[in-house]
Amino acid sequence: MPAVTDTIFAEEVLTAGLPVLVEFTASWCAPCHMMAPVLAEIAREEGHRLKVVQLDVDTNPETTVAYGVLSMPTLMLFRAGEPVRSMVGARPKRRLLQELTDVL
């Protein structure tokens, strides 16, 4: 899964042609590690209609603060440059897809 940084966030997320699911993550976050295979699978299966990226909160404080992210993992869906859905905590693939259905 590609990583984004403060520097390229606008280019990779805000101006993307597809909706973008951003996982705000950290190396020390155990639930984030549990989400990695789930998000990789979704990226593979839904890549034609959804871009999935990760942002490390420890090395990218500007974006983290700008979107008010306080807990990891936070999953935020952006569409047309705007956050349209925010979810906190690990969740199974089926539940995550259900939560995204109405905004994709």
Q: Is 29 a catalytic residue?
A: yes
Question: CA-to-CA distance for 48 and 61, rounded, in angstroms?
Answer: 30
Q: Which of 20, 21, 32, 53 is catalytic?
A: 32
- Rounded to an integer, what is the distance from CA 104 to the centroid of its chain? 14
Q: Is 27 a catalytic residue?
A: no
Q: Which amino acid is at 78?
A: F
Locus of tokens 């693939």:
93
Q: Which of 4, 21, 22, 29 is catalytic?
A: 29
DSSP assigned state of 14: I
Which residue numbers are catalytic?
Answer: 29, 32
